[in-house]
């Protein structure tokens, strides 16, 4: 079954709860990471959703947008707690990347034990071939 067919609204919030939003996604969404400059620094697991699948339900006045380089991607964060909530993707401006840690009931660790890492340092929008940089794995209680 297609993920879009099984998508349902999920409640989401930043750390302080000032920014709330819903994002329609399947029960077990696919997540990913990226190695571009900003994604490497924020370190979030991102879940792709269509633009019309995300609705800000509270704290819109707290949201701030950060753009750099080409200005295509729009990174939205809470001005109170600083949490990156979602961004409009450069690779697909018709999608938001939702921070999995903001999705109530999801763990960016246990729910995503193995993640593909996109090669954002050599971005496809810059004429490079789209490729994976590698994989990240989470092993609970690993020693």
Could you read off the pLDDT of 116-142 as tens digits, one per residue? 888 877 776 777 777 788 888 988 886
**pLDDT higher at 122 or 76:** 76
DSSP 18: S
pLDDT value, residue 124? 66
pLDDT value, residue 131? 78
Dist CA 55 CA 11 (whole Å): 10
Spell out the residues 6+ positions from residue 134 whose beta carbon is closer than 8 angstroms to its own.
Answer: 117
What is the domain extent for residue 11? 3-137
| Residue 82 to residues 17, 34, 63, 88, 105, Cα–Cα distance (Å) | 11, 20, 9, 17, 21
pLDDT value, residue 13? 99
Q: Is residue 100 part of a domain?
A: yes
CA atoms within 13 A on the CB side of 30: 8
Q: How many domains does the chain fold into? A: 1
Q: Is residue 143 part of a domain?
A: no
Q: Is residue 142 part of a domain?
A: no
Q: Is residue 106 part of a domain?
A: yes
Q: Is residue 21 part of a domain?
A: yes
Q: Is residue 78 part of a domain?
A: yes
Dist CA 30 CA 74 (whole Å): 21
pLDDT of 9-67, one tens digit each? 999 999 999 999 999 999 999 999 988 889 889 999 999 999 999 999 999 999 999 99
CATH number assigned to the domain comprising residue 77: 2.170.150.70
Q: Is residue 71 part of a domain?
A: yes
- Which tokens is 104 given? 């109530």
| Residue 112 to residues 29, 90, 135, Cα–Cα distance (Å) | 9, 23, 11
């Amino acid at each position: 079954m297609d993920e879009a067919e099984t998508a349902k609204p999920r409640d989401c919030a930043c750390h302080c709860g000032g920014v709330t939003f819903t994002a329609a996604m399947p029960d077990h969404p696919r997540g990913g990471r990226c190695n571009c400059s900003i994604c490497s620094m924020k370190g979030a697991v991102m879940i792709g959703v269509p633009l019309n699948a995300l609705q800000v339900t509270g704290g819109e006045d707290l949201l701030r947008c950060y753009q750099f380089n080409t200005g295509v991607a729009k990174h939205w964060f809470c001005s109170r707690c600083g949490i990156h909530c979602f961004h409009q993707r450069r690779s697909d401006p018709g999608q938001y990347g939702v921070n999995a840690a903001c999705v109530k009931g999801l763990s960016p660790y246990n729910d995503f034990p193995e993640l593909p890492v996109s090669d954002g340092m050599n971005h496809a929008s810059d004429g490079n071939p789209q490729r994976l940089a590698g994989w990240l794995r989470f092993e609970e209680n690993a020693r």
